[in-house]
Amino acid sequence: MQTITSTQHRNALRAAPPVVLPSLLLCDFGNLEREIRQLEAAGVRGLHLDVMDGHFVPNMTYGLTMVSTLREITDLPLDVHLMISNPGDYLKKYVDAGADLLTIHAEAVDDPRPLLEEIRSLGAGSGLAINPPTSVASIEAALPLCDLVLAMSVMPGFGGQAFDEVALEKLDDLRSRVPAETLLEVDGGVNSKTIAACGSAGAQLLVVGSAIFREPDYAQAIANLTQLAGSEN
């Protein structure tokens, strides 16, 4: 594989939004490389990895090994979302494993700014996520240090939740507060019924799980979602 820097990956994601990012939680882990090849063939422009620790959120998923494995088998940008306590203990490890964008939760730290600065110093894009109850105003001081801001449209760690439209208000608010180069992302309950509103509100990166992996044709699903995401812009 060719060597592509994290900066090049971020620039590629910024170049032509909207970008539908498959969340790998629902992929077939027994055939991981086959899944990645199918997603590459379907034209995806990046992959989203939800890291859960069973403490900050009630569920546990995968960690460093999954990130490093994916880095070995694909050149796609890896957008790593840390839903963990004490994220500062793991930033270098995840960047070394291959994260191009690394997102921490505002709710997991007293002050996200030193961690965002560290992520940037390590060469990755710095991301900050906020849960539905967390206001945009509460993270305003950290926004200049963010390469990405993620508005959660569900509470992380719980399955089967309805899309919370408060994320749309936050995306619209964020677009007026951050520089044009800052990526805005939405995650949780994003599907064919909700993705158009997300795109209209300003989301450039749209994290999708079941609306891709529960469809028989990944390419068709991604093409449809991408078209819907840009339909109201």
Catalytic residue list? 50, 187
Other beta carbons less than 10 A from residue 175's beta carbon: 16
Q: How far apart are CA 209 and CA 197, in angstroms?
A: 17
Q: How far apart are CA 183 and CA 175, in angstroms?
A: 9
> Which residues, 6 or more positions from 110, have their beta carbon under 8 angstroms from its beta carbon?
none
Do residues 18 and 226 touch, judged by C-beta distance below 8 A? yes
Tokens 């240090």 identify what position? 145
Give residue 15's identity as a one-letter amino acid code. Answer: A
What the block records as the tokens of 34 is 């086959």
Give residue 2's identity as a one-letter amino acid code. Answer: Q
- Would the CA dihedral through 32, 34, 38, 40 be positive or negative? positive
